[in-house]
A and B are shown apart, each in its own frame.
Chain A
Amino acid sequence: METRFTEPNTLDRPKQFDSKVTVPDNKGIKVVKSCTINRTCEELFQFWRRFANLPQFMKHLVSVTETSDTESHWVAQVGKKTTEWDAVIFNEHPNELIAWRTREGSDIAHAGTVRFKPAPGNRGTEVTISFEYEPPTGKAIAFLSKLFGKEPGQLVEKDLMRFKSVMETGEIPTTEGQPSCREE
C-alpha cells in the first residue's frame, strides 16, 4: 500500500492550516500499517482525536497537550532522552481521517495520518496509520535510531496493536512485572 501523508489532497484543509510545515512531499521515510479493530469508526475517531489519549498506547509518548483546536505540544522519551515538538492538524474529516504534522524547526520533523474505514460485514473498522519523517540530522539521529531500532514499522505496528487492545478490551495485555526464576 502506498499512501502519502498529504492525501487525500482533494479535501479541504482547515483554515488554520500552516504552510510552514516540515517533511516536503516525497522526501520522507514512510511507514504504513493497518489493523482491524472491533469498534465503530466513531468510537475510534473520537478517542484518537483527543490527542491527550495517545500516550495510553504510544509507548514512547510522555504527554500530548492540546493548545488549540488544531495545535498540540508533544513530549516523547526514549531511555533517558526526551524530545518535544509542536504539531498542527492540517486535515480532518470526522470519523474518517486525522492528519497532523510538526511545525517548522522541530528536531524531529514528521507527519502522520490515521484513517478509519468500516470493515466489511460488520467486522469493525480498518485503521491505517501512515507516518512519515524526514531523514534525521544532528541530535535527532540518535533519538530516532533509539526509538525505531532497525525497523521503524515495528514500532508503529506495536503502537497500533496497543491502540486495538485499549479500544477492544480497555487495557493492554502485559507480562511485565510477573514472577519468574530470573533475577530481574
Chain B
Amino acid sequence: MRALCYHGVKDVRIGNVPDPKILNPHDAIVRVTATAICGSDLHLYDGYIPTMEEGDILGHEFMGEIVEVGKEVKNLSIGDRVVVPFDIGCGRCFFCEKQQWSLCDNTNPDAAKNAALNGFSGAGLFGYSHLYGGYAGGQAEYVRIPFANVNPIKIESNLRDDQVLFLSDIFPTGYMAAENCNIQGGDIVAVWGCGPVGQMAIRSAYLLGAEKVIAIDKVPERMRMAEEGGAMVISSEDDVLELLKELTGGRGPDSCIDAVGMEAHGSAYDVVKQKLKLETDRPYVLRQAMRACRKGGTLSIPGVYAGIIDKVPFGAAFAKGLTLKMGQTHTQKYMRPLLERIEKKEIDPSFVITHRMNLSDAPKAYEIFCEKKDNCIKVVLTP
C-alpha cells in the first residue's frame, strides 16, 4: 500500500509498504477514505518530537471502512464506516474506565521509554513517535486499529467524510480545551492560535456559552476564519496584554487557551535555545497567556509541549491562583456527543478545510501547511 513515511526533518515521502495485518484479537483493519494533516504533525516534521525513526508512517486523523476484524471484535462488521480517535485506549484500565482515554495504562508497548522521560506513560498514539508507542499512522491506504472494540465510532448517518473526519482529533481537542475552561455565564475566553484546533476551540467556547471569544494570531486568512466563527481578533504583533485588558474591562480573560504549543513564534530567545537544544519547546504563548489571565482564571493548554521549557512566569500563575488544565485529548469521551452536535447541525467542522489533495501529494501538502503557503489552514488527503 501507499503510506506517508518520515525520513528526517522536513523530509517525508510516499513509500510502498506492506499492508497492515491483524496482530492481536481486538485489532481491526481500516481502509482509509479520508485523512488529514494535524498541526501537531508539524512538530514531527520540524524535528521537535524525539524518538522518530526513519520509515515511520505518520498520521493520526483518519477515517474509513472496516475491512477486517480480529476474533474478539464483536461490535464492528466489515463494511462499517468509522472515525478513529488519534489516541489508543484499552477500555479496561483505571484511566479508560474514568474516560481519561489518552492516559491509558496499557496501549503504549514501549511505556518504559516514555516513563523514563515523564515519570509515567500515557496511551499509545497513531503515528506520533516511539515515545507514544510507535504505532503506524493513518496517512496511508490501510491502518491497523488496536482495541477496535472500544476506539472507533461508527458513522451511520449520511454525513460526508469531511464533516465527521475531525472527530478523530481537532474537534474533540478544541472542544475539550473549551470544556476545560469551565465556562460560566459572562465569561470571556482568549484563544492563542487560529490554526485548526484554535478554530474548533473558538466555536466550542461559544457552544459552551462563552459571552465573547478573543482570538490572537497574525496570519490574515486564519484571523478572518476566526472572525467568521464569531471571535474578536487581535494581532499577536500588537501589545496583546494591553489589548486584552482593554477588551475585558481591565479584568483580563476569564480563561486563556494556548492552541499553539511548543513552536510558538515571537521570542528570539527561545528560537536560539531550541536550536542549541538547550530548551526543547518555545513557550512564548504560554508565558503571555499566564500573564494575561484574570485572577482565579483558567489556563487551558491543548497545544502540544514535549519537554523542558524555561523562563515560565510561574509566580504569575501562583499569585493569581490560576487553574492549569492540559494534556492529550480523551477523544473517545467526546466523539459521540460531538457527532450528535454535527448531526443536529450545530456545527459543521468542514469549514476549516482549505486544501483537498491526494495522499500521493502528501509531501507537498506538508510543505505548504508548514510554510502556511497558499493560505493553507487544513489539508484533507484522500488515498
Interface residues of A (CB under 8 A from B): 36, 38, 123-124, 154, 157-158, 161, 164-165, 168-182
Q: Which single residue of chain B is at the shortest CB-CB distance from A167?
A: B92
- The closest CB in chain B to the CB of A179 belongs to B17
Secondary structure dominating the interface of B: loop
Contact yes or no, B20 A171, CB < 8 A: no
Residues of chain A within 8 A of B230, CB atoms compared: none
Chain B contact residues, CB within 8 Å of chain A: 1, 3, 5, 7, 13, 15, 17-21, 23-26, 53-57, 72, 88, 90-94, 97, 105-109, 111-112, 124, 133-136, 140, 144, 146-147
Docked pose: A83 CA to B139 CA in angstroms: 44
In the bound complex, CA of A173 to CA of B91 (Å):
13
Q: Are B109 and A175 in contact (CB under 8 A)?
A: yes
Say yes or no: A180 contacts B55, CB within 8 Å.
yes
Q: How far is the CB of A151 from chain B (nearest CB, A)?
A: 10
Identify 6 new A-B residue pairs, CB closer than 8 A, beyond the known A38-B94, A175-B109, A182-B53.
A169-B106, A173-B90, A173-B108, A173-B133, A175-B136, A177-B21
Cβ–Cβ contact A178 & B106, under 8 A: no
Q: Are A179 and B1 in contact (CB under 8 A)?
A: yes
Q: Which residue of A lies closest to B107 (CB)?
A: A173
List 22 A–B pairs whose Cβ atoms lie within 8 Å, in order of A's numbering.
Answer: A38-B93, A124-B94, A157-B112, A161-B111, A164-B106, A165-B106, A168-B93, A169-B26, A170-B25, A170-B72, A173-B24, A173-B90, A173-B108, A173-B133, A175-B133, A175-B135, A175-B136, A179-B57, A180-B56, A181-B13, A181-B17, A181-B57
Closest-by-CB residue of B relative to A168 is B92
By a CB distance below 8 angstroms, the chain A residues around B94 are 36, 38, 123-124
Chain B minimum-CB-distance residue to A157: B112
Closest B residue to A184 using CB positions? B55
Minimum Cβ distance to chain B for residue A10 (Å): 32
Chain B contacts for A178, CB-based, 8 A = 20-21, 23, 135-136, 144
CA distance A175 to B145 in the complex (A): 11
Contact of B106 among A173, A177, A182 (CB under 8 A): A173
Q: Which residue of A lies closest to B88 (CB)?
A: A173
